[in-house]
Structure 1
Amino acid sequence: MRLRQKVIVLAVAPLIVALCAIALYVRQGAVTLAQQQRATIERAYLASKEAELRHYVQLATHSIAHLTGSGRSDPATLEEAKRILSTLSYGGDGYFFLYDMKGHNLMHPRQPELVGVDMWNWVDAAGAKSIQALIGRAKEGGGFQRYHWVKPSTNRAAPKLGYVVPVANWGWVMGTGIYLDDVEAALAQVADQQSRNIQDTLLWIAGLAILAATGVAVGGLALNISEHRVADAKLKVLAQRVVESQEEERARLSRDLHDGISQALVSVKLQLEAGIIRLDGDEARRQQARAGLERTVEQIKTVLGDVRRISHDLRPTLLDDLGLAPALDHLASEFGEHAGTPVRFRAVGAVDVLSEVAATVLFRIAQEALTNAERHAGARSIEMLLERMGGAVVLTIVDDGVGFDADSVAVHPKRGIGLRNMMERMEAIGGRLAIVSSAAGTRVVASIDVKE
């Protein structure tokens, strides 16, 4: 794949995908916001209309209050109340209507042909028995009811919001209503404007995507033109990297020598010193010295074996033969025997799940930590815990030595080689190393995530 193609795949394509995702997110958010805004406007508009309808009905009620409160119900009084209500109107399509509790129309100023008609089972354009619903609201004490009715100005059925109240002493249902087609038209206009705004926003995003993709393509072209000019520089960098790789390999070999042979020789030295001291004693102590020297000979053989193993990538044989937990247990026992500092080791949970490289790193961390505790801390006891904690295997080593300043030692040019080795090993495999030290002792925690 050529460089320009790589630029397109690795830069332009993710950019376009990201902008498309942003556009979809913006569009979804804008649509949701528009729906919420429409609902808010509708609620506010209907609330104002409901308040307006209540006001109109109150005015109509007051206009016939002198008749309904007179206690009379003779035909003349009833006709006078109907006449007054028929003359009341507001707007182009606002009027009042009257029904009795059985659904007979008593007064309708815009559709006089309905007067006297039994409309109890009348069904509106939506298939609902609207008159029954209005009378039911009135029996409840009054309220709002939506239904469909013919609008006088257009002579077409339209949605309507009615408000009715009972005229209890006469058995009437009085009400009025407003048509909602104007409300729906206004809301449709708002929705159309919101849709245009969303479309304009998406067009802006598309324009930005085109400009960004063009910019990346132009940059890729410029990079392709300059590719030949930087070829020599790349070769120089490659040569430098080869040198650095050689130095890194030497550093790795140095770390392995320090982590393996050094600890073994320290143990041999301690046994030899102990043997020399015992040779000056009685026969029993000389026998102990002889036994200790025999063990030292065996350990020297082990050291020679370690040297041979270093030539084969310096992998600890204990890990191959026993696994990480048994290898650490053996290391703790051996160190406690030779260094004279008791080491208590425990393994908790399923810990034999690490790769060979990760297990080697933890083993080396343990070796280095024990050596540091013996050499520098003057520890009287050491605890070592290998446990499975969630998705990680954690090795914790705690001693009760004098402690040290971890930050200053780690950056000292002539000290802290072991600490730097530990840190570099953990970083190389993506692990985490934490060292906390004080006058009360030192805690080393090495954590490696388990890859299923």
Structure 2
Amino acid sequence: MMLRHKIIFLAVAPLSLALAAITVVVRQQAAELGLQQRASIEAAYVASKQAELKHYVELALHAIRHLYDTGRSDAAIKNEAQQILADLEFSGDGYFFIYDRNGRNIMHPRQPELVGSEMWDWHDSNGTLTVQLLINRANQGGGFVRYNWQKPSSQTVAPKMGYVDSLPRWGWVVGSGLYLDDIETALAEIDQQVSGHLRHTMLLIAAIAVLSALMVAFAGLLLNFSEQRAADAKLRHLAQRVVRSQEEERARLSRDLHDGISQWLVSIKLQIEAALIRIKGSPEQAVAARATFHKTATQINDVLAEVRRISHALRPAILDDLGLAAAVEHLCCEWRAAAGESNGAELVFESEGELASLTDVTNTVLFRVAQEALTNVARHAQARRVTVRLLGAKTFVMLQVEDDGKGFDLAQVSEHPRRGIGLSNMQERVEAVGGHLSLDSSAAGTKLVAVIPHRPCAAPSHD
């Protein structure tokens, strides 16, 4: 074997083994991350469904509370309450049902053939004694029960989560339920997306492996060691792409959260429907209905404020529109309104120099560092005065966050597996764009300085 062939083999073989090992590790880590993501999303979905369902039942009980509080238990007052609950519906397949304590169905608007049936021993396709579980849970003060039930819109049996509560004086168990088949559909789509991303990643790793092998082979043939510098530059560029992709993902998530707020609006709609029913009643009920409308208007404003807050936290539009200085100043104003009012801390923002010519990556990194630093000050520092400075020089841009708080042990926090995550994130962000992050903390306060080199774009000539 010729010497150049040996060089190529000794260069390509370790590279191939390393890339194969990386491929296995990346695939395994991506699969585990996908499972964790799926579990987190499923838990979030279920928690959202539970909160929504409990709220529905509470609103339904509130709609008949004025009848129940009369102290009457005659058939007329019960029939009126049944009619109100039968008229309430939500989400297409959402309705309310009533059982007595012995398992007899009193009201079921979607399956009237069940009314009057003794269903104590009824069980679903999994053998679950559904009605017994519902009644027992209601007798325990209310709660959630999972079971299978026929879905009205499709006439098929689907998994369902119910919430029940009791009206002891009438001997009623009142409840409702949400079907969970949409969660399974959403999780299936997520699995498909994760699988697609994994395949794409594997193809990308394979392409990188082939390209790297060719480059190493070419370097071995030419014995040109300058490729090492080119590889370092590519790694820095890849790190910048990773930071940019993270921010793009945050922006996409910000848009998605706007659509997810619709569940809150459905709850508000149900309150309005209940108020509309009550406004047709007695003058006292009409007054209560108007109060409900005022409360609903306040809740709508809260929902809008929450949408704006989440969207701004994920990706502030002002950073793209007006630049780093305006975005950090706005961040400081928000900090004063939140943390400043709660603990009386004073925050001073200072900005000088040329900051308009910074790249998007530099803007994003420095904004995230400022955001993380101010979050840490609000949570841990107990500071009375905080100063945030931005300085744009010819060859670098500097961010400084200083407070007079109680400080912390930097070595101890850095070694802690959880408490040092924020500091590590700031360090990695700054180093990924070729910058330097320094941190000094003592009992007199904490000072954080991030410096990132840059070369401003030359102004156009006007010859």
TM-score under structure 1 length normalisation: 0.47
Task: Give 1 or 2 for the bigger CA radius of gyration.
Answer: 1
